[in-house]
């Protein structure tokens, strides 16, 4: 199996992952109906995000939390949604790549999901208190 080692690999991984997400019954609606994702804008940001996380290249300029709070205000982004996101991500990584960077991509996704799930829950509770 191929090692995850270049920007092209990241683009392949992200594209395959979001192809699954768009069709997914559990989280696809967040992207398709709630956020109405502009894929031409979103995908390059995700390439940069993962290239920064995995290869340490400081090219991603954004705030993932800030982007997710408005979605969470419309429809709750709950911990089980993030767990499902990780499941899809992990499957996509494992189907296509191996090695240290592939393992790191799964590890980082788990950390992101845990943090975002927690922050979205806190944000929801702060608006209902």
Q: For the whole prediction, is pTM greater than 0.85?
A: yes
CB within 8 Å of 63: residues ≥ 6 apart: none
Q: Decide if pLDDT at 124 tops 90.
A: no
For residue 102, give the H/E element and its range. helix 100-128
2-128 has which fold?
A: Globin-like (1.10.490)
pLDDT over 70 at 45, yes or no = yes
Residue 63 has pLDDT above 70, yes or no: yes
Task: Report the percent of the chain where pLDDT is more than 70.
Answer: 98
Indicate if the pLDDT at residue 128 is higher than 70.
no
Q: What is the pLDDT of residues 20-31, one digit of tens each?
A: 999 999 999 999
**pLDDT the model gives residue 35:** 95
């Amino acid at each position: 199996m191929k090692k995850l080692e270049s920007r092209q690999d990241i683009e392949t991984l992200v594209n395959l992952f979001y192809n699954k997400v768009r069709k997914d019954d559990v989280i696809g609606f967040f992207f398709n109906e709630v956020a109405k994702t502009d894929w031409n804008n979103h995908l390059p940001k995700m390439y940069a995000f993962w290239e920064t996380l995995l290869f340490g290249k400081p090219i991603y300029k954004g705030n993932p939390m800030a982007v997710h709070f408005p979605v969470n205000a419309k429809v709750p982004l709950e911990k089980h949604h993030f767990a499902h996101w990780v499941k899809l991500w992990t499957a996509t990584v494992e189907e296509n790549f191996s090695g240290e960077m592939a393992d790191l991509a799964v590890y980082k996704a788990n950390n992101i999901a845990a943090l975002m799930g927690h922050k979205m829950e806190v944000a929801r509770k702060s608006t209902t208190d």
